[in-house]
Structure 1
Amino acid sequence: MKQEVILVLDCGATNVRAIAVDRQGKIVSRASTANASEIATENNTWHQWSLEDILQRFTDCCQTLSDELSSYLIRGITVTTFGVDGALVDEHGALLYPIISWKCPRTAAVMNNIGHMMTPQRLQAISGVGAFSFNTLYKLVWLKENYPHLAEQAHAWLFISSLINHRLTGEFTTDITMAGTSQILDIHQRDFSPEILQALGLPRRLFPRLVEAGEQIGTLQSDIASRLGLPAGIPVISAGHDTQFALFGAGAQENEPVLSSGTWEILMVRSAQVNTPLLSQYPGSTCELDSQPGLTNPGMQWLASGVLEWVRKLLWTAETPWQTLIDEACTVPAGAEGVKMQSDLLTNQNAGWQGVTLTTTRGHFYRAALEALAGQLKLNLQTLEKIGQFNATELLLVGGGSRNALWNQIKADRLGIPIKVLDDAETTVAGAAMFAWFGVGEFTSPKQARAQVRYQYRYFYPQTEPEITEEV
């Protein structure tokens, strides 16, 4: 009998991947190829995505795995990707205009002028989502202002995961977790906001039926099945925005904050309570829908490893191993002997170091940067506790930044609570697969699917307590 798997099609900004996951959440097969946006023909500073290129990359991945996948029984397929991006399509699902990338600057002016339609405070109170220029809302306003006939002619707006799902199944749907990133959804009602749509002059008909994570969208159609080298008829199960499935896949419980540490640090929590009117008081705050009904994901985000990358290039080289920086910083005592750094390089013109003397070394600068970022984390966690109405007793840490043991210890010392590190980098894929296993009827709930997974965490305790490895 063939081993049963879920096939996760993961479209990231850097890589497109096809990954087979078994019932216990283990990856049994994977293939990856580079992904990249392209320059728009209208303006060489604009960025867009090619749906055909993304589909071809999935095709390449599946063909690479063809021999391996033929030995498995694929019970279901699910798609996960980055949020906010999408396109207007006709009744056949053909794009009426290219997919504007979240990296594209063209919508910044729309965000800055949105106040004549609705105040940013009101927008965030309804949608939860913060004022980020890449939000779906600003893309749709830009399209309406620059190509008004397209919005009138369009059959639907499809987020990028739903564009892929339409190609797989022929069905027009909206993954609810993607809608939760748009700044158009009423996060409390779990539907598109009539107030926001009216203010923007957009009809509700543009947004197809909402599907919950784990809900079956349709089945794999024969034409795309042939292209991917897969059997037709495989159930296609809704997933959506990668962040929500990373939280679930990491094992995060309700009111357990999770820090995804990378170029940006994204601090979120799975909360049953959120004070959305409070959000607009805190720059960088946002709130999205959780993968499960009844919960939301309030969060904060800020530049983190991007700061450390800048320090490395400035004082070492871009190719210097990170361990070299860490080793030099380890020779510097806590507090960096008075050297301090203001790490908010994006918004603070006074960002940089203070307390520098003739005895200051590169290690001091790097340690000061680590400590400053840990201080920023503390402030943001305190803010998140107010917004989500919870008290943190530990912090679950995932992502590339979690491999820096010195930084982990500094975070634990600064926060005064244990740091719980999950080394598994595939939390998004695991989480999406858990919902898909539920969707094909293998488990009674995504939680039951997650209960099959054995998580291994490393703990960093405040001050001098030793690091401990535990399995749960």
Structure 2
Amino acid sequence: MMGWKNERPEIFEKICKFTVPAVYVAGKFAGLKGEEAFYDYTYVTFTGLFDVHKMKYSEELAEVFKLPLDKMPRIVKPWEVVGELTPEEASKTGLVKGIPIVAGAGDGMACTFGAGLTAPGLCLDIAGTASAFYVSVDKVVPDIRYKTLLYLKSVVPELWCVGAYINGGGLCLRWFRDEVAKEEKRRAQELGIDPYKILDEQASRIPPGSEGVVFIPHLGGRAYPYNPRIRGVWAGFTWKHNIGHLFRSILEAIAFEYDHYLRILRELLKEVKIDEVRGIGGGNKSEIWNQIKADILGVPYVLLNREEYAVTALAVIGGYGVGVIKDYVKAINEWVKPVRKIQPNTEVHEKYKKYSSFYEKLISRLDYILEGHELLIE
């Protein structure tokens, strides 16, 4: 909004509502007018203008940034029916006209609900393109000191999900596979197997801590706390280290970042007790990565019985919205069940503590070290 207001004020004045692509598509399907645009309450936090305590737009923030709140969409519940599929859109899609269209939820909160975070103290690792980590809580204590954790309203009205994510955390693995491990990728193609199987096997030969190699996984800048100057770093590697060390250090770095989030959370909400971490996303197909996360975080890492958790969540939300499902919390907990629990190795966990501490020390000094680095790139 600020960009349009400051750079293209003539267009800004003509804009009816600011929203996100999913809402635009839903609005097109339902034939909604601009004035009828909406945000569901799980996504609206990202506007930067939402008061999570009062569950409405903040007039104070709007005044600070000189932004008109009449350009913000109405806030709805995720299960609210916002319209019906129009005949025109039905003919384009092949769907039946008049199908109710439910607001739905933001991607992250759809995942947390779909993974069963329906009570305080449950924890989720979304091992996808971005590596996201959330804990369900029943109160908000802002992270004013570290400016790292954000609070998103859960699908469950009494809860928030607090956490953060690594922008492109999972992309680090893809980048490594494609740009560094080219020989392993070629060999995997010859054998007809996933290249990550070879890389996981090589990483499994390396002791915890990667014999001193520490990786910083923010190749695209750090999202939380926001710092676009931070970049990827390998620290501590010598002639004795090989591709297994480098790959394992990436796996460990994602978990070190999660451990950093947990330390802040425990400082803010001392009463929150984390008994396990649930894992979803393509990354949890890696046995070694799941074990590394359990060992670094010091709690069991739990695998669930489904694959598409956001889709599962939205199916339940949609069913509740049209009255097919009577209790959406009960429904999701019946559909989604733990199937395997990976226990942490207490001895390895103790060893990892010093590595996690070093990771925090290293990343805290990178801003100073990389000052002026952007000027080197033409």
| TM-score bucket (shorter structure) | 0.7 to 0.9
- Paired residue for 1:238? 103
Kept in 2, the 8 Å contact 1:177–1:239? The answer is no
Aligned with residue 13 of structure 2, among 148, 152, 158: 152
Query: What corresponds to 2:198 in structure 1?
Result: 324
CA distance in 2 between counterparts of 1:229 and 1:437 reads 21
Give me the identity figure in percent.
26
> CA 1:388 to 1:215, structure 2 compared with 1: closer, same or farther past 3 Å?
farther
Aligned match of 2:244: 363
In the TM superposition, structure 1's runs of 4+ consecutive aligned residues that sit over 4 Å from their partners are 342-345, 347-350
Q: Structure 1 residues 267 and 216 mapped into 2: Cα distance closer, same or farther (>3 Å)? A: same
- Cα separation, 1, equivalents of 2:28 and 2:104: 15
Which residue does 2:124 correspond to in 1? 258
- Kept in 2: contact 1:272–1:294 (CA 8 A): yes
Give the one of 170, 173, 195 matched to 1:308: 173
Q: What residue in structure 1 maps to residue 46 of structure 2?
A: 181
Q: Deviations over 1:51-71 (max 9, x none)?
A: xxxxxxxxxxxxxxxxxxxxx
Match of residue 134 from structure 2: 268
Q: Secondary structure at the match of 1:457?
A: strand
Higher mean C-alpha deviation, range 438-447 or range 281-290: 281-290
- Structure 1 residue runs of 5 or longer lacking an equivalent are 1-139, 466-472
| Higher mean C-alpha displacement, 372-381 vs 340-349 | 340-349
Correspondence list, 1:31-50, <5 A: none
Match of 2:322 in 1: 440
What SS does structure 2 have at the residue aligned with 1:432?
helix
Q: Structure 1 residue 304: deviation in Å?
A: 2.6
Q: Distance in 1 between matches of 2:277 and 2:78?
A: 25
Structure 1 residues 41-60: aligned runs within 5 Å: none
Matched residue, 2:24: 163
Correspondences of 1:12-411 after superposition (within 5 Å): 140-171=1-32, 172-174=36-38, 175-254=40-119, 255-276=121-142, 278=143, 280-302=144-166, 303-317=168-182, 319=185, 321-345=195-219, 346=221, 348=230, 351-356=233-238, 358-389=239-270, 390-411=272-293
Amino acid at match of 1:414: I
5 Å-filtered alignment, 1:418-429, equals 418-422=300-304, 424-429=306-311
TM-superposed deviation, 1:439:
0.7
- Output the CA distance in 2 between the equivalents of 1:213 and 1:350: 37
1:376 is matched by which residue type in structure 2?
A: E
Distance in 1 of aligned mates of 2:292 and 2:283: 13
Match of 2:364 in 1: none
* Structure 1 contact 378–414 (Cα < 8 Å) conserved: yes
TM-score of the pair, normalised by structure 2: 0.78
1:257 CA displacement? 1.2
Give the Cα separation in 2 of the matches to 1:450 and 1:234. Answer: 23
Superposed CA offset, 1:271-292 (max 9, x none): 111212x2x4335432222122
Per-residue CA deviations over 1:192-213 (Å, capped at 9, x if unaligned) read 1111122222222222322101
In structure 2, relative to structure 1, the CA distance for the partners of 1:200 and 1:341 (3 Å cut) is: closer
The structure-2 alpha-carbon separation of the partners of 1:350 and 1:312, relative to structure 1 and needing over 3 Å to count, comes to: closer
Partner of 2:111, secondary structure, is helix
The superposition leaves residues 65-106 of structure 1 with CA deviations (integer Å, 9 ceiling, x where unpaired) of xxxxxxxxxxxxxxxxxxxxxxxxxxxxxxxxxxxxxxxxxx
1-side partners of 2:213 and 2:73: how far apart?
A: 54
* Superposed displacement of residue 405, structure 1: 0.6
146 and 307 in structure 1: CA distance in 2 versus 1, 3 angstrom threshold: same
User: CA, structure 1 residues 149+411, in 2 after alignment: closer, same or farther (shift >3 Å)?
Assistant: same
Amino acid across the alignment from 1:235: P
Report deviation, 1:235. 1.3
Q: Aligned-residue CA RMSD in angstroms?
A: 2.5
SS in 2 for 1:153: coil
How has the CA–CA distance of structure 1 residues 221 and 327 changed in structure 2, closer, same or farther, with 3 Å as cutoff? same
Deviations 1:362-394 (A, max 9, x none): 212222332333222212222233345512111
Whole-Å Cα distance in 2 between the matches of residues 372 and 233 of structure 1? 49
How many Å separate the matches in 2 of 1:384 and 1:402? 23
Contact 2:213/2:236 (CA < 8 Å) preserved in 1? yes
- In structure 2, how many angstroms separate the alpha carbons of the residues matched to 1:392 and 1:446? 24
Post-superposition Cα deviations, 1:103-155, rounded to whole Å, max 9, x if no partner, equal xxxxxxxxxxxxxxxxxxxxxxxxxxxxxxxxxxxxx1111112223333333
More strand by share: 1
Taking structure 1 as reference, are residues 205 and 349 closer, same or farther at Cα in structure 2, changes over 3 Å only?
closer
